[in-house]
Amino acid sequence: PFDWGDNYKLPNMPEKDLVIYEMNVRAFTADKSSGLDPKIRGSYLGVIEKIPHLLELGVNAVELLPVFEFDEFEFQRRPNPRDHMINTWGYSTINFFAPMSRYASGGGGPCNASREFKEMVKALHGAGIEVILDVVYNHTNEADDQNPYTTSFRGIDNKVYYMLDPNSGQLLNFSGCGNTLNCNHPVVMELILDSLRHWVTEYHVDGFRFDLASVLCRGTDGTPLSAPPVIRAIAKEPILSRCKIISEPWDCGGLYLVGKFPNWDRWAEWNGKYRDDMRRFIKGDSGMKGSFATRVAGSADLYSANKRKPCHSINFVIAHDGFTLYDLVSYNFKHNDANGEGGNDGSNDNFSWNCGFEGETDDPSIKALRSRQMKNFHLALMISQGTPMMLMGDEYGHTRYGNNNSYGHDTSINNFQWGFLDKQRSSHFRFFSEVIKFRLMHQVFRHENFLSNNEVTWHEDNWDNYESKFLAFTLHDSIGADIYLAFNAHNYYVKVSIPPPPSKRRWFRVADTNLASPEDFVPEGVPGIENSYNVAPYSSILLEAKLT
């Protein structure tokens, strides 16, 4: 048996205190620039070697893209336009109980994978970092009816394990991957619960993010259910009671459940409306100020029901799907030709803005604006009520050169570029890291409950002005250490009146995204703030009221 150690303990982080880092085990250290021994690049052991980076960044939870055994060569089973690609993301489960064997060191193997996965979890827990798994119970690797690939369930009992059209007997496809697991059939439900219990008891993981979780809200004929048995069973399962459970509340059949996912006051959700509203406000779309305020305040319009809390909103601007943060501010259009689907794959609704030029440029003003916008997005994310999640690589500005659906590239498109990180360490990375640590030092960003009127003041009497793209507000601290924030998405300066600080305190400037590093974020604050501040175009500021 595996030795977890005498002093081993689970982090047991309160949900409201999580800062989640979405990452791919292989891509994290596969690149030569990781500096690791080739035997452990792209492995569970490789993750252990880079825990100091996670601690320096300040995150306290990793959300691992699928680590259940999957077939990375599935695109190469027969000649097709995608047969040059490798499935690096892992959304194609072969076995719901086994860790991906090729993520073990030195070429893999199931026994090594099992042991080294536990070593990784133990080391992350020892560093105070929780482990959340991205799990795929909506479909399997067994493909569609046109090109069936029978490895298990299709050969055992196709009608039980998959949703079938009652008339034609053909597989239903709510996953976009050719088949749909029949999650609310009692046999399949028990398989899912057994699998989840196994990962908690055997591997000590701290939570799960359910890919295309709306599939789990469908009956055996595909009809949406208001109280899906499997969703309820997961919420009520005693062994999972300490776990974070997070839904991706949509599927490829159009069942969009953001804010409406059946939850039993347990399930959190990837908040897709947060992503879209934040993108639109910060890039300067008109009419988004009210939505921006609602999102940074915790999305009460979506989650203030029953006993749900702000932490049930998983806030994100960027995830593995879609553009990276750098690409979000560098491309108006997706550039997916390398995927072999003629540019038809990937989302067209990116709410991105290239800041004046499509793709790479040497123009210093465009580069400065892009840098500012990335900082604006990160600051907005980390001061929002709810649970923030960021994507691996955004801490140095990783680019996929406009590819917004990079699931099949085992290259630098996906692989963490450690040399790029080193170049950004004293500037972009420093800002990202300091903002995360500032969030975790200040309770006003991590309220247990939704904000009351005496916990926030909106400095705004112009909510209905469609063209207004400026918002300022103060988060009130119980001891007076208030935080003032202003976001300017106009293309001109806004001179704003600063409210008087609480008694015996003065305003100190902590953040101004228009300033160059290291002045853009000074954790202890810079004094000398008068009763007005000139907020630059496309920039944001954070002031803290400190005792004098």
Bond from prior residue into 238 cis (ω within 30 degrees of 0): no
Instruction: Tell me the one-letter amino acid at 362.
Output: D
| C-alpha closest to that of 145 among 173, 167, 166 | 173
> Closest Cα partner for 139 from 131, 130, 129, 149?
149
- Pairing label, strands 68-70, 93-99: antiparallel
Cα dihedral sign for 82, 85, 88, 93?
positive
- Token pair in block for residue 262: 């059946």
Does the annotation mark 467 as catalytic?
no
Catalytic option among 22, 74, 142, 248: 248
User: Where is 274: in which H helix or E strand?
Assistant: helix 272-282
Amino acid at 288: M
**C-beta of residue 253 within 8 angstroms of C-beta of residue 217:** no
- Pairwise CA distance, residues 160 & 178, whole Å: 16
Q: How far is CA 241 from the centre of its chain?
A: 22
- Cα gap 302→308, rounded to integer Å: 10
Quote the tokens at residue 441. Answer: 């030092």
Please give the structure tokens belonging to residue 403. 């590819």
DSSP letter at 298 equals T
* Strand, helix or coil for residue 506: strand
CA distances from 217 to 45, 193, 312 (A): 36, 15, 18
Distance CA(98)–CA(256), nearest Å, equals 30
d(CA 24, CA 70) in angstroms, rounded, equals 14
Distance between CA atoms of 371 and 361, rounded to whole angstroms? 13
User: Rounded to an integer, what distance in angstroms lies between the CA atom of residue 483 and that of residue 460?
Assistant: 16
Which residue of the set 211, 276, 394, 520 is catalytic?
Answer: 211
Q: Let me know: does 123 contact 236? Beta carbons within 8 Å.
A: no
Residue whose structure tokens are 């860790």 = 99
The answer to whether the CB of 488 falls within 8 A of the CB of 494 is yes
450-460 b/e with 16+ CB inside 10 Å = b?
Answer: bbeeebbeebe
211 is catalytic: yes
Q: What would the two tokens of residue 327 be?
A: 């690409």
Give the whole-angstrom CA distance, residue 469 versus residue 538.
Answer: 10
Provide the token pair at 147. Answer: 């090109």
Catalytic residue IDs: 211, 248
